[in-house]
Structure 1
């Protein structure tokens, strides 16, 4: 219990630090959202609109930095991140909620699939090492893991979308996909997701495979496996009960962190395919100096990583008895 309370305290403290840095860093950048918007429209805005814009962005009565900070924390708790500059006057939270399902559906599901496939292949390759099939997957995994995924995405776009016209070139839906959640809507969503899914899946499986293979090889040399064989346990039971469980723990920790970063989206992949997820909007917020949107996305990424890390710690307590006994 003390372990969990300590982890919860670290979570709350780290989240507060992340939120505080999120408040400080944008204020170190010269200018303000109104100046950015005036520069963007190059004098085409009526000067009388400046006061209205300051009111819209909450810059008309800033107060002291301390009062700004507590106002910021209050707005953060209520989910008020202000209005987007690049998509003005859309509230930032609306932009995030609109893009979040695309990112969770695309990057989240693909991350889970790549972890399961890569770990299964890594278990086979590590346990059956020395056999032709098990050893053959290693150079393939190394090649896929070293291949830039944005390059592979561009290759898929050129061959399968531009040349063969099997899949759409960009976006997440057709212009007129039909009623939301209808059969035609789901078909359109699936067709647009095939190439991004292939890009992330093919280029990420290799990393999980190599990690799991190394873990299995390390576990295979432990004395408790020799003891299990001496007890007459079958190879299948040894793999499932001893090898898989112990080899999976380090990979599972990395997997939890990967799930946390899912909220940030696969930025380059979403840019290549113009897929309207959080990664795409994060890139747009940086290029357009959209500080409110950038600030919100950074906060959600930090929150997701911290939550994922906390959940991994909780699950490790269940999987690893050494933690429950206070020895790890």
Structure 2
């Protein structure tokens, strides 16, 4: 029990530190969201007198007349009430609404792509590691090269080949603009069609890392005594590979997969930008360009909670799976 209490305490402190950085870092950036909003208002012929500016400062929580510490405690109080503020870049929408609209797109795209790359990489890695030294091992350098390729470069290559040259997939967007978002079959089919190329980019870039890690763990596991014992008993190779070797070799990969799920909500900013995909990464870039403190803080909060939550789950699971990790705590 003491072990779990210490873990929970550590992550609570980490969450507080992340929230504090989440407040101060955007305010260290040049520019002001009120200036951005006032400029937009002036372009549309609206009033830009001091009273309007003061109203926007109070609305956005960037009151320059208050000390930064006072703003910080107001930010924490609003946060615990679930009030993430008003977005400048999507004014006058609430930040929670903007994130709620974009987050499902990223979770579906990056989540499914991460799951596919994990299953494909682990499966191939188990086979390659079991048959080490065979021609399958020659595939490893090619996959590691793909893992080192930048997302944006690979995305542009796929767009040039499959979207422009072959016209198999659309160039950009998350769905056909003539459709109304909903859970009907036509819209879902359109969303899957538009998301295939971005997902393929993530899978190709990620599968090499899972494959290499699983292959190395399989090579190490195959040399263990219990594998030699199973072979001496005359068990079939397929059963030894799946029930004994792969089952133990996959544990580090499972831990890495659990942590990578925490980063799913952050999406892939570059990939979403190349494909103009309506995910959380595009919203984050839009918030940075418009000095949208509230939206940046809201997105960083969601990412932070997801990553810390995934790490906490992994720590707690490891404490249950391997009691040795609790030794001395």
TM-score normalised according to structure 1 size: 0.90
Aligned counterpart, 1:46: 47
Q: For residues 68 and 60 of structure 1, what CA distance do their matches in structure 2 show?
A: 8
Sort the Cα spacing of 1:65 and 1:238 in 2 relative to 1 into closer, same or farther, 3 A: same
Q: For residues 178 and 86 of structure 2, what CA distance do their matches in structure 1 show?
A: 28
Aligned counterpart, 1:22: 22
Residue 278 in 1 paired to residue 287 in 2? no
More moved, 44-53 vs 150-159: 44-53
Residue 259 in 1 paired to residue 267 in 2? no
Question: Structure 2: where are the runs of 5+ without partners?
Answer: none
Please give the root-mean-square deviation of Cα atoms over the aligned residues, in Å.
Answer: 2.4
The answer to whether the 8 Å contact 1:141/1:205 transfers is yes
TM-superposed CA distance for 1:300, in Å, is: 1.2
Give aligned pairs, total: 326
Q: Deviations 1:222-243 (Å, cap 9, x if unpaired)?
A: 3343344455554444333432
Residue 126 in 1 paired to residue 129 in 2? yes
Q: Deviations 1:33-90 (Å, cap 9, x if unpaired)?
A: 2123335667765322312322321345864444432321121122211111111111
- Mapping of 1:113-192 within 5 angstroms? 113-132=116-135, 134-178=136-180, 180-192=182-194
More moved, 202-211 vs 239-248: 239-248
SS of structure 2 residue aligned to 1:3: helix
Question: Structure 1: where are the runs of 5+ without partners?
Answer: none
Q: For residues 180 and 284 of structure 2, what CA distance do their matches in structure 1 show?
A: 28
TM-superposed CA distance for 1:190, in Å, is: 1.2
Q: For residues 67 and 155 of structure 2, what CA distance do their matches in structure 1 show?
A: 48
Aligned counterpart, 1:34: 34
Sort the Cα spacing of 1:200 and 1:110 in 2 relative to 1 into closer, same or farther, 3 A: same
The answer to whether the 8 Å contact 1:252/1:312 transfers is no
Aligned counterpart, 1:215: 217
Aligned counterpart, 1:97: 100
More moved, 2-11 vs 293-302: 2-11
The answer to whether the 8 Å contact 2:26/2:296 transfers is no
The answer to whether the 8 Å contact 1:178/1:184 transfers is no
Q: For residues 240 and 159 of structure 1, what CA distance do their matches in structure 2 show?
A: 38
